[in-house]
Amino acid sequence: MLVEILGKTYSISQEDWYSVDRIHQLGLVLNTNGKPCRFTIYRLIRKGRLLARDFGSSGKPRYLVYGSDLIDFLNQKYKKVS
């Protein structure tokens, strides 16, 4: 599973914006059961561990994560063990 996630980081473009739904569909952020979870992504954004910008309007947040920030987060979370 970890090898699959690290392999997916190469398909992430550094200049693109990724929504929470797109990150969830890619299966990049897992909960403690090892399954993709939107609530886990929102919690990471709320705690400031995953950098995101809010492009929402009228009080409803719409978080987008820049590709380079997502790659940095995944490299920190899933470090390769030498």
Q: Mind listing the pLDDT tens digit of every residue in the chain (82 residues)?
A: 556 666 666 678 889 999 999 999 888 888 888 888 999 999 999 999 999 999 988 888 899 999 999 988 988 887 754 3
Predicted local confidence at residue 81, as pLDDT: 45
Indicate whether 66 belongs to any domain: yes
CB 29, CB 41: distance < 8 Å: yes
CA gap 62, 52 in Å, rounded: 9
Q: Quick check: helix, strand or coil at residue 30? A: strand
On whether residue 47 sits in a domain, the answer given is yes
Q: With respect to residue 82, please indicate whether it lies within any of the assigned structural domains.
A: no
Containing 61, the helix (H) or strand (E) segment is none
Residue 72 lies in a domain: yes
- Domain of 29? 2-77
Whole-model pTM: value is 0.81
CB–CB of 55/62 below 8 Å? Answer: yes
Domain tally for the chain?
1
Residue 20 lies in a domain: yes
Q: Quick check: is 22 in a domain?
A: yes
